[in-house]
Amino acid sequence: MSPLMLLIIVVIAVLLMAGSVLLLRRSEDDPLTVRIDEFAAREEIVSIEEIELSLPFTDRVFVPLIRRISEFLVRYTPQQTLESTTRLLELAGNPRNMRAADFIVIRGVFTVMLAALVFLMMTRIGNAELNRRLLYTLGAAVLGWFLPWMLLRSMVDRRKEAIIKKLPDALDLMTICVDAGLTFNAAMQKVDEKWDDPLANEFGRVIHEMQLGKSRRQSLRDMADRMDVPDVTSFIAAVLQADQLGVGIGKILRIQSEQMRVRRRQRAEEKAQQAPVKMLFPMVFLIFPSIFVVLLGPAGFQVLRNDSLSGITG
């Protein structure tokens, strides 16, 4: 294989994998809708073709390509796999409104491209045996299959962490709003208007679903299920129970806010206690050897020098 052809394959593979990563990390807003809103705010007369051409390269090429492939693969994918992937995407906040089939296509792109890259590089650069090349290629394929999944799992963990950190502040704001005379729905609306984070967006989604006709009880339960955070689940359960028993919502919010702050302080104390254990490994294997080299290095050279001089004189 010529170097030019190898370079072209490498560039195509890198572009496909980079485009797949961008698809995962982009927001859930539709880029075409965002562009239309931008041009509408400028009060410029433009055509749909011009708006589409102003989109990024990934939105014009990778997104339609992956969608076409996913529509074909969804027919042969087990339903259980689609449901588990859909659940994981929902916990991650539905990045780019991605479907389960789209994510499976991204995993396939990573698997094939990373395996092809490793095989071509070992064929071109090294003189390894065929069995060893196949083994490395298989390892690269396994890594490429699990890499998007690990990226998505990290997005889920970061989203849950952001929700846990923001929940006490959101409850404080809702308590102030309810004490000022607003309803619980208006308090959720204020949280959505004030912040732009996963928790505030979920409150805004609850308000939107209620405006479309869904009951508040069902909307709140769906919100707790979408986030899968124990603190949010306990808060929603307390609110629903208070709503059923006729207890004042302001008192419930105040109690929940105090409990969430206590839990946040306990988590901070737990992480502070874990810090010495986590610092042990880098101190023993990285910091202490450097200190020993700096302190004992000159003495060691001095001992070696004295031994060599005594050997010469002897």
**149 belongs to a structural domain:** yes
Give one DSSP letter per residue of 147-177, joined into a string: HHHHHHHHHHHHHHHHHHHHHHHHHHHHHHH
CA torsion sign, 280 to 286 to 287 to 289?
positive
Residues 167, 257: Cα–Cα separation, whole Å: 8
Tell me the whole-structure pTM to 2 decimals.
0.70
Are 199 and 166 contacting, i.e. CB atoms less than 8 angstroms apart?
Answer: yes
Cβ-proximal residues to 260 (8 Å cutoff; 6+ apart), any chain: 167, 168, 171, 231, 235
Query: Tens digit of pLDDT for each residue in 72-88?
Result: 766 777 778 888 888 88
**256 belongs to a structural domain:** no
Query: Tens digit of pLDDT for each residue in 142-186?
Result: 888 888 888 889 889 999 999 998 898 899 999 998 888 888 889
Name the percent of the chain lying above pLDDT 70. Answer: 73
**229 belongs to a structural domain:** no
Residue 31 has pLDDT above 70, yes or no: no
Amino acid (one-letter) located at 233: T
**303 belongs to a structural domain:** no
Give one DSSP letter per residue of 52-112, joined into a string: HHTS-HIIIIIHHHHHHHHHHHTTTS-HHHHHHHHHHHHHTT-GGG--HHHHHHHHHHHHH
Work out how many domains the chain is built from and give that number: 1
Residue 304 has pLDDT above 80, yes or no: no
Q: What mean pLDDT, rounded, does the chain reach?
A: 78
Q: What is the largest CA-CA distance in the chain?
A: 100
Residues 217, 236: Cα–Cα separation, whole Å: 9
Cβ-proximal residues to 162 (8 Å cutoff; 6+ apart), any chain: 197, 198, 199
Are 97 and 30 contacting, i.e. CB atoms less than 8 angstroms apart?
Answer: yes
Instruction: Output DSSP code: residue 38.
Output: H
Are 223 and 205 contacting, i.e. CB atoms less than 8 angstroms apart?
Answer: yes
The domain containing residue 97 runs over which residues? 3-158
Query: Tens digit of pLDDT for each residue in 265-278?
Result: 888 888 888 888 88
Tokens encoding 250: 């302001």
**99 belongs to a structural domain:** yes
Single out the residue of 137, 83, 141, 154 nearest to residue 107, CA to CA: 141
Mean pLDDT on 95-113: 80
Are 171 and 251 contacting, i.e. CB atoms less than 8 angstroms apart?
Answer: no
